[in-house]
Chains A and B, each alone.
Chain A
Amino acid sequence: MHRKKMPYFRAGIIAVALLCCFRPAAAQEAPALPSGLDRRTAPPALPEGLGETPADNSAQETSGPALSLPFSLTGFLDVRGGTRLQSDRYEKTESLGETRLQSEVSFRLKKVGVKLTGDLIYDPVLDRPALRLGRGEGWFDLREAHLFFTLFRFMDIKAGRQIMTWGTGDLLFINDLFPKDWNSFFIGRDVEYLKAPCDALRISLYFDLANIDLYFAPEFDPDRYLDGRQLSYWNTGESRRAGRDRVIRPRRPSGWFDDWEGGCRIFKNIGGYELAGYAYAGFWKSPAGSGKNTGKPMFPDLRVYGASFRGRFFNGIGTIEFGYYDSGEDRHGDDPLVRNSEMRLLIGYERELRRDFTAGLQYYLEHMRRHNHYRKTLPAGAYPRDRNRQVVTLRLTQLLYSQNLTLGLFLYWSPSDSDLYARPNIQYKISDDLAVEAGGNIFSGRHDHTFFGQFEKNTNLYVSVRKYFSLP
């Protein structure tokens, strides 16, 4: 807008006029001093709206979004490929090769919000599995399809297919027993695919004393567990590596309302310190036993009780989480076919060391209960698990070039298993809607039967290009 300088007498007129009207002299002011003052403190010209005619705030209302649709649509097209770095006689050389079109539609029907998210998948690497929405297999992955609304002032409801997360761990989970997709995680899909959806009713209650989250899934939603189709693994029965030749097909608890699972969380934020208690009833989320007569892998009963804390600590964030895994089908620890009960502990600390550079460290412990019973009943020749499995994780993140380039490393190292898993990653945002990424999943271990060591032959590198879109 054109600006002109007003001589003093006009300012005087306006000021007097305003005083006469008993109105505060809001936006009227003497103009900027004439130029000629020393440069360093030359007065800036007044911004539009100061020192001119009274500011017009009607313009405020016109600058909203031009297009208004009754729903919003966002999503991306993601093309991703990966390859193993060593030959694996049980798996293909290509670890990953897929094109995903994710669309997310959300809208409101009066007071009820609706969200639908689905991925159309073209994958020439995976052997064409039939479409099974419950398992996320086939050409379409329905990730979210739920309603959410506030039933009472203190109660929110979310019903349908949804992603859920709680707990304090960074890529380590104790009280978060929502389904995970470990295949996606280990082959280099975006980390959002580590969380698999859950078909559940979630009720959240908010009170002054504490908040309560409850969820109920009428049918057990297991992890998208490692079954050998995409990643080779240690087959304990045959004491060797296996993969597509020995695909794990467990007996899955799938009776509606018989094989339910559910959990709750009681949580409170006291001045920035977050406290929570958790409980879960259901099943081990990945196969953790085998049937006595059939020998078929299965998901034994599981209950979990735990607690967590998260808050500021020495200029960073400190976390502690604890959980007791009560393996109901092997309380005494003397059934070698079912995983024993465990105590799990996680201590974490994360801090920004310098501008745009963050480091995080976690210590994680799985302590097997009744380890002596386990050792006594373990079949001869089987590799025994340690009483304590310990894992240390390190996360380093560096943002560069106005935060458009991200260099990341996440490292799991187990001193007790003598194995490690490294996740280096580099991502560059070429523009607001275009990003490229490359990374690796590097497994190494002294033994072939330990958790990360068994995946050694799956060590892979991947690259991806992702194009985002949105409406309106």
Chain B
Amino acid sequence: MKKLFSLSATAVIFLIAGLAHGMTADEIVEKSNRAAYYMEKDGSARVAMRITDSRGRERNRNFTILRRDQPGPNPEDDTYCRNQKYYVYFHLPADVNKMVFMVWKHVDREDDRWLYLPALDLVKRIAATEKRTSFVGSDFFYEDVSGRNITDDSHVLEKADPTYYVLMNTPKDKGLVEFSRYRTWIHKTTFLTVKVEYFDKQGEKYREYEALKVDTVQGIPTVTRSRMKDLTAGSETTLTYSQVKYAIGLPETIFTERYLRRPPSQFIR
């Protein structure tokens, strides 16, 4: 009996391994990008962010994030990883309460970003287009939250073990980024990125991402807790996602000035 199970297990492993060898690094990255940033066509979540500095002092941010993917020219074509719109409504800390940050993420050019300051009723256009700057003072960059363009790096499959694809990613334009390369561990079944190690120009590891918890929401494996460590500064940031929902039917008009000034209460809890 035991032997039979071992046989079937071996068969399954070979099947998976066979599939693995059939996939190129770019295909893996494409699937991983979709699993991390393009679940369904839209979604919402409440995010608790905890930033801990090297001396153990904590700062907390609490916000609701809404995402909507722009449909491609051919709606039947499911291979897209295209432009997206993000709407981030801040609950805490109190000094940013009711502030809204909106991004129109463009894959082929710089993003458009707006900030709404309720005390001034001001819709401010943000000049900062740098994608690798800290998102609201945390160890996560804008690009970590909304996704890095997969064509900005070249990807090499270093290894495929039974659990992970291990990829080395090298930027095509080294001048634009602070890292020289980064290694990703992509979970084979779900294509979720479980770990990322970033190396600086001297080849030292200085930044590390880890997925800490995965929940299956509406059948979609979703990272609901993750951590970014800045090994140089000694700080780390943990993101905890709750109330994750997909396919909520977000209208595109949510991502306009109207809803910056009047947040859509039905989507913001």
Interface residue ranges, A against B (CB under 8 Å): 8-9, 11-13, 15-16, 19, 25-33, 41, 43-44, 46-51, 54-57, 59-61, 63-64, 72, 74-76, 108, 113, 148, 150, 156, 162-166, 191-192, 194-195, 204, 206, 211, 267, 269, 272, 274, 310, 312, 315-317, 319, 350-352, 355-356, 358, 360, 402-404, 429, 431-433, 435, 468-470
Contacts and interface: CB of A to CB of B under 8 A. Distances in A.
A54 B104 CA distance: 35
A26 B189 contact: yes
A27 B95 contact: no
Contacts of A469: 94
Contacts of B122: 165
A47 B189 contact: no
Contact of A358 (B57, B128, B221, B235): B128
Interface string B113-124: 000010111110
Given A16-B12, A165-B122, A468-B93, A27 B257 contact: no
Contact of A49 (B2, B53, B224): B224
Given A33-B162, A350-B127, A26 B120 contact: no
Q: Is the contact region of chain A dominated by helix, strand, or loop, or is it mixed?
A: mixed
Interface string B90-123: 0011110110000010000010100001011111
B187 interface: yes
A41 B125 CA distance: 43
Interface of B: 2, 5-6, 8-10, 12-13, 16, 46, 48, 51, 53, 57, 59-60, 92-95, 97-98, 104, 110, 112, 117, 119-123, 125-130, 132-134, 136-138, 158-159, 161-164, 166, 183, 185, 187-190, 192, 194-195, 210-217, 219, 221, 223-225, 233, 235, 240, 242-244, 253, 256-258, 261-262, 265, 269
A28 B189 contact: yes
Contact of B163 (A33, A195, A272, A468): A33
Nearest to A153: B253
B95 A468 contact: yes
Contact of A11 (B9, B119, B215): B9
With most chain B CB atoms within 10 A of its CB, the pick from A41, A108, A148 is A41
Contacts of B161: 33, 43
Given A47-B212, A468-B93, 7 more contacts: A29-B162, A50-B187, A57-B215, A63-B242, A75-B94, A403-B134, A432-B92
B112 to A, nearest CB: 4
B46 A195 contact: no
Contacts of A64: 46, 242-243, 269
Q: Is the contact region of chain B dominated by helix, strand, or loop, or is it mixed?
A: mixed
Given A8-B9, A29-B163, A431 B59 contact: yes
A433 B94 contact: yes
A44 B189 CA distance: 15
B2 A9 contact: yes
A50 B192 contact: yes
Contacts of A470: 92-94, 97
Given A54-B216, A75-B94, A44 B194 contact: yes
B214 A55 contact: yes
Nearest to B197: A40
A76 B95 contact: yes
Given A12-B5, A12-B8, A352-B128, A32 B163 contact: yes
Contact of A43 (B110, B163, B213, B224): B163
A351 B194 contact: no
22 contacts: A8-B13, A19-B12, A28-B189, A41-B159, A46-B187, A47-B194, A47-B225, A49-B221, A50-B192, A64-B243, A74-B98, A195-B119, A206-B253, A274-B125, A316-B127, A402-B53, A432-B94, A468-B94, A468-B95, A469-B94, A470-B92, A470-B97
A211 B260 CA distance: 14
